[in-house]
Amino acid sequence: SFQAIISFDGRIDSSNTALHGFLGRSDFLDTGTYYAYEGVLGAINVSHNTTVSVVPYVSQPDLGLVSGLNSGFYNLSTAKRQTASFVCPTANCTWSPFSTLAVCSACNDVTGSLQRHRVEGTNLGTLQQHEIQIYTNWTIHSLPRLNLTNMSMAKYGSEDSPIAYISATRLANQQNTLSFQHLNTMMTAVQMIRVSDDYVRGTIMWDDAPVTATECALHFCTKAYESYVVQGELKEESIATWANRDPESFRVVEDAGYSPEELEDWNDWNNNSLYNDYGDAPRNDLRLVIPDDDVQYLGLPRDIRTQFNLTQRAVGSTLRFVNDNFFEETMVWPPEGDAGSNGVPPVVQALYQSTNISETFERASQAITNWMRDTSNTTQVGMTQEWTIRIHIEWSYIAAPLAAFVVGLGFCIFSIVETWRLGLDAWKTDMIATLTHSVDAETRAQLRHAYRHGYLDKAVNAMIVALEDEGRGLELKIKQA
């Protein structure tokens, strides 16, 4: 029962030290290289009456962006996701809700927009074997800007004509997408048409194979996080996400030499998208905002950041790499002939091998977000925590031992008081005292007489006592010689 009186447990409590935790966040992004190639002009017919002159731009992406994209799309077998950089001296930290620049992703099933038809002709497949002229029927599955075409009677592994399993394209202007037309913070969208695994396994003909279409997008956004570190591992929960662009941001500056009418026609022609293939002009920062009403509705801290800026340099260098180098307008798998000679980007293999395309894009967006937060000089200060051992006393179990202790203590005090009152010596463990008060009356009288006259020890040594029954019970008596 005594073992059950005290119990121990532990929990994480705030540290009483001056240590702090630090977690990366981004309020402002200005990375990469992006500048006008002076002396070369191009012209865009943005309307029937307006032609705008644009300048091509030279760009170089930040290496952190390149690393983030590669990590997100190619590390498909990695179960543990990468996180933003953090410092937590005690291995347990917590942060109040905060906001940061981020990249978000979304994927939609657009199979319902597929058109299917047959065409008779020569070498009309997505993959074409130019050495052999094949005239036959071709079954085409198409979207407005993409198609996947194979021979109608083709089987998997056919030697007559190469077979395409997936066809994809990137779209830099949201107006050309099927499901992201109003996403004015879009970085890129990727449309994919792919055949079912049943066809790849060789169980059905191409003409009977199910085909699906998916459209995914990466876009700039802002996020509010609730973050904490437990045993050295960062865990973050997204509270809310916004993709609200200030309509007056990322506009061509007034002194760039364009009339208001030209700028209006240009923006309408480009659908206010962040990127086009033809060229650019000096622009102000892209600004993303979090509505004040959302801050109040979600119960976020009043001092939480609600405005975020990305410079033209950051936006231009990032989108140029994403749309011109990482993704391309023509992406098919398997590659036709030598993959290096026909320019098939490596990412198309990752798209084909992905078992969950939404998760693949989400992983890539998180990797880019981590880069944005790590490259920033801004950090969120957090509170450190430590593991504390706590001792609990079960008072119900201690009641009986405590009562026994109190009774024993009372008896002890009573004995001391009574001994003092009677004027007795406190002999404690001396056996002479026991003999003095437990033998017969004659023996007690002899012992007391010897005590008074100072020869008690001598008298005791000379005595021999034995237990005798006097009719009232056993009694110690002097044994007569």
Q: Give the up-direction half-sphere exposure of residue 345: CA atoms within 13 A in the CB hemisphere.
A: 22
Pairs from 350-358 (Cβ < 8 Å, separation ≥ 24): 350/73, 350/74, 350/76, 351/73, 351/166, 351/168, 351/190, 351/192, 352/165, 352/166, 352/194, 353/76, 354/76, 357/107, 357/192, 357/214, 357/216, 358/105, 358/107, 358/216
Higher pLDDT, 362 or 54: 362
Q: Are 351 and 166 a contacting pair, CB within 8 Å? A: yes
Highest mean pLDDT: which of 169-183, 411-425, 448-462? 169-183
Q: Residue 339's pLDDT band (boundaries 50, 70, 90)? A: very low
Give the pLDDT confidence score for residue 13 in this predicted structure: 66
Q: Measure Cα distances from 215 to 186, 250, 365, 368, 423 in Å.
A: 13, 26, 15, 19, 104
Q: Which amino acid is at 128?
A: Q
Task: For residue 242, give both structure tokens.
Answer: 């916004």
Residue 377 has φ and ψ, to the nearest 5°, of: -90, 0
- Residue 291 C-alpha from the chain's centroid: 24
Give the pLDDT confidence score for residue 389 in this predicted structure: 73
Give the pLDDT confidence score for residue 272 in this predicted structure: 85
Q: Are 389 and 8 a contacting pair, CB within 8 Å? A: yes
Q: Are 23 and 306 a contacting pair, CB within 8 Å? A: no
pTM of the shown model: 0.76
Q: Which residues pair with 287 in a beta bridge?
A: 309
Give the pLDDT confidence score for residue 438 in this predicted structure: 65
Alpha-helical runs (H) found in 423-465: 431-438, 441-452, 456-462
425-461 pLDDT, tens digit per residue, is 666 666 665 655 567 777 778 888 888 888 888 888 8
Answer yes or no: is pLDDT of 340 > 60.
Answer: no
Give the pLDDT confidence score for residue 280 in this predicted structure: 85
Answer yes or no: is pLDDT of 481 > 70.
Answer: no
Highest mean pLDDT: which of 149-153, 257-261, 417-421? 149-153
Question: Which DSSP string do the residues of 76-102 spell out, in sequence order?
Answer: TT--SPP---EE-TTS-EE---EEEEE
Give the pLDDT confidence score for residue 111 in this predicted structure: 96
Q: Are 234 and 84 a contacting pair, CB within 8 Å? A: yes
Q: Measure Cα distances from 371 to 26, 83, 190, 285 in Å.
A: 10, 9, 22, 19
96-124 pLDDT, tens digit per residue, is 999 999 999 999 999 999 999 999 988 88
* CA atoms of 149 and 246, how far apart (whole Å): 42
Q: Give the up-direction half-sphere exposure of residue 153: CA atoms within 13 A in the CB hemisphere.
A: 6
Q: Are 45 and 326 a contacting pair, CB within 8 Å? A: no
Answer yes or no: is pLDDT of 342 > 70.
Answer: no
* CA atoms of 155 and 49, how far apart (whole Å): 52
Give the pLDDT confidence score for residue 358 in this predicted structure: 94
Instruction: Kindly state the helix (H) or strand (E) to which residue 418 belongs, with its residue range.
Output: helix 395-422
Give the pLDDT confidence score for residue 391 in this predicted structure: 75
Give the pLDDT confidence score for residue 141 in this predicted structure: 95
pLDDT, averaged across the chain: 85
* CA atoms of 239 and 295, how far apart (whole Å): 11
Answer yes or no: is pLDDT of 337 > 70.
Answer: no
Answer yes or no: is pLDDT of 79 > 60.
Answer: no
Q: Residue 318's pLDDT band (boundaries 50, 70, 90)? A: very high
* CA atoms of 182 and 62, how far apart (whole Å): 28
- What percent of the chain is predicted at pLDDT more than 70? 88
* CA atoms of 217 and 68, how far apart (whole Å): 16
Give the pLDDT confidence score for residue 161 in this predicted structure: 62
215-268 pLDDT, tens digit per residue, is 999 999 999 999 999 888 999 999 999 999 999 999 888 777 788 888 888 888
SS in 3 state form for 25-74? CCCEECCCEEEECCCCCEEEECCCCCEEEEECEEEECCHHHHHHHHHHHH
Question: Which SS3 state, helix, strand or coil, does residue 250 take?
Answer: coil
Residue 411 has φ and ψ, to the nearest 5°, of: -65, -40
Task: For residue 236, give both structure tokens.
Answer: 């973050």
Answer yes or no: is pLDDT of 77 > 60.
Answer: no
Give the pLDDT confidence score for residue 203 in this predicted structure: 73
Question: Out of 95-109, 156-170, 253-267, 338-352, which region has the weakest mean confidence (pLDDT)?
Answer: 338-352
